Amino acid sequence: MFQEEKITASKEAEAPLGETARIYIMGKSYDVPGGLTILKAMEYAGYRLVRGVGCRGGFCGACATVYRKAGDFRIYVGLACQTGIEEGMYLTQIPFYPAPKPVYDLQGLSPDVGALLRFFPEIVRCMQCNTCTKVCPQGLEVMNYIAAAQQGDLKRVAELSFDCISCGLCVSRCPAEIAHYHIGLLARRLFGAHATLKAVHLKERLEEIEKGRFEEELEALCRADRQTLERLYTERVIEPEG
């Protein structure tokens, strides 16, 4: 399909090191040093973050941020820990957006469209507005994976939603009130549980455990005294030689 403009921050617009930039956090203005990420700038401004912060590495999805720029009607998004501040940035974080998840028994479901519709009948309300895609900080094709969910194509949902970090921005803006990341999660789980290759070595290892191959070793460790444990730990093989 044709490409719509993805709204992501550009490196050129960031406030440079050594200069001060004025940013607005939930409507209040702060002058902060350039070169900081949004997260660091909020902490510089005096915020102590206990929600809306996590791995600080762009992976957990806790610090989803929505911002606007002066003179620009568009909504921009990014992860606070990964996005550099810009002069005039007008931001807020979305640490949590309600998206209740139904309880399901994965093994009792079959990997088809019926399973998705049963727990998320709102999938069919999707209007193909593409707001979810525009607002995804990971640049995923969110609308397309919801479309694949409607078609019952679990493999494609799993492929397209793989890098989803469940930040909730799509959920917050969807006019059809869909909770995209829960649907992606169910589809990936169904695909993994029913429709993809099974790990043979995992099965073998589980059989070994059930047969008691590791019982003796575990028992010995449990009975060992502190000195023995310390010795075992310091003398452990970290990487095989050669």
Partner 1 sequence: MVIQPAAVRSRGGDEEGNVVEKEKKLLGYYPGCELRSRARALDISARRACQSLGITLKELKDWTCCGGLVAQVNDNYMALLAPARVLLGAHAQGFKELVTLCAFCFNTLRRAAFFLERHPEARRKVATFLEVETLPQVRVLHLLEALRDSAGFDRIRESVRRPLKGLRVAPYYGCLLLRPAQEIGLDDPEEPTLMEGLLGALGCDVVDFRSRTDCCGSYHIVTNQGAAAQCAQVILHSAADAKADFLVASCPVCQFNLDWSQTGSGNTGMPVVYFPQLLAFALGEPAEALGFDGKGAAALNLSAYAAKEEALRESS
Partner 2 sequence: MSLLLSLRRKDGLAKEVAALSEQNLYACYQCGKCTAGCPVASIMDDPPHQIVRFLQLGQTDKALKSDTPWACVGCLTCAGFCPKGVDLARIMEALRTVRLRRLDAPFRYTQEDGEWLSNLPQSAVVAAMRKVTW
CB of 79 within 8 A of CB of 37?
no
The binder of 53, among partner 1, partner 2, none, by C-beta within 5 to 8 A per type, is none
> Residues 143 to 172: which contact partner 2 by CB under 8 A?
150
The binder of 120, among partner 1, partner 2, none, by C-beta within 5 to 8 A per type, is partner 2
CB of 158 within 8 A of CB of 173?
no
Classify residue 224 as left (phi > 0), alpha (psi -120 to 50) or beta: beta
By C-beta, is 30 or 104 nearer to partner 2?
Answer: 104
Distance CA 225, CA 59 (A): 40
Classify residue 61 as left (phi > 0), alpha (psi -120 to 50) or beta: left
> Residues 106 to 125: which contact partner 2 by CB under 8 A?
113-115, 117-122, 124-125
Identify the residue among 39, 63, 147, 186 touching partner 1 (CB under 8 A): 147
Residue 113 interacts with partner 1 (CB under 8 A)? yes
# binding residues, partner 2 (CB under 8 A): 13
Residue with tokens 């700038």: 41
Identify the residue among 175, 203, 205, 224 touching partner 1 (CB under 8 A): 175
Residue 16 interacts with partner 2 (CB under 8 A)? no
Q: From the CB of residue 71, how many other CB atoms can be counted at a distance below 10 Å?
A: 6
Token reading at 132 = 């979810």
Beta strands 76-79; 64-68: pairing state: antiparallel
Contact string (CB under 8 A) for partner 2, positions 65-104, x = contact: -------------------------------------x--
List residues near partner 1 by CB under 8 A.
1-2, 4-5, 112-113, 124, 126-130, 143-144, 147, 150-153, 175
